[in-house]
Amino acid sequence: MACNDIYYMNVALEQARLARLKGEVPVGAVLVSGTGKILSRAYNRPIGLNDPTAHAEILALRDGGALLGNYRLTDATLYVTLEPCVMCAGAMVLARIKRLVFAASDPKAGACGSVFNIPDCNRLNHRVAVTKGILAGESRALLQAFFRERRGNRPFA
**Do 84 and 108 contact (CB within 8 A), yes or no?**
no
The C-alpha atoms of residue 87 and residue 79 are separated, in whole angstroms, by 16
Q: DSSP states of 56-92 as a string?
A: HHHHHHHHHHHHHT-S--TT-EEEEEE---HHHHHHH
Is 57 one of the annotated active-site residues of the chain?
Answer: yes
Q: State which H helix or E strand residue 31 sits in.
A: strand 28-32
Q: Residue 12: count other Cβ atoms within 10 Å of its Cβ.
A: 31
Catalytic residue (choose from 57, 83, 138, 149): 57
The C-alpha atoms of residue 76 and residue 131 are separated, in whole angstroms, by 14
The residues assigned a catalytic role are: 57
